Amino acid sequence: MLTVGDTFPTFDLTAVKGGAEGLKLASAFTQITSASDAGKWKLVFFWPKDFTFVCPTEIVAFGKLAGDFADRDTVVYGVSTDSEFVHMNWRLHHDDLRDLPIAMLADIKRELSTACGILDKNAGVALRATFIVDPQGIIRFASVNDLSVGRNPQEVMRVLDALQSDELCPCNWHKGEDVLRPAA
């Protein structure tokens, strides 16, 4: 699995747009590449499969924080190995996903999942991996959960705040709290 300090892989994936545009067949799809949103921080999170149980809880939670991530100059990309058509159908038929403000990327060839090293060896789907990538394309945070365990998007936000502070941040630090200062 790729980890902190590695360069996030290049990619070119079809996505279902976030917001109302993602619900209209004529305008739902777009290409998102590793060059999209250049100069911004990126939060890239993977989930195993659409139309499952744990996945929408995480996706909705990341979506609810999309504005907070945007305030931190961070774009959020959700990715699974399902197609863009499956993503759109799921959004259309799942009440909690209908208003999702973030793009859902389709890694149907499993190229990005493979390049990140996060394909489950038995199921052949993406693990619940999360990457925070800085504006230079360097991974600054990486985590992966078992297929049955959801993530905490608030913790991902806390880590992003700490990374963007460029300071020494103690355990459980939150934005606005004191940072550590080495003795001079």
Active site residue ranges: 55
- Give me the residues paired with residue 139 across strands: 133
- Would you say 8 and 44 are in contact if contact means Cβ atoms under 8 Å apart? yes
CB atoms near residue 172 (< 10 Å): 8
d(CA 76, CA 63): 8
- In sequence order, the 6+-apart residues with CB closer than 8 A to the CB of 6 are 138, 139
Smallest Cα–Cα separation from 164: which of 155, 175, 172?
175
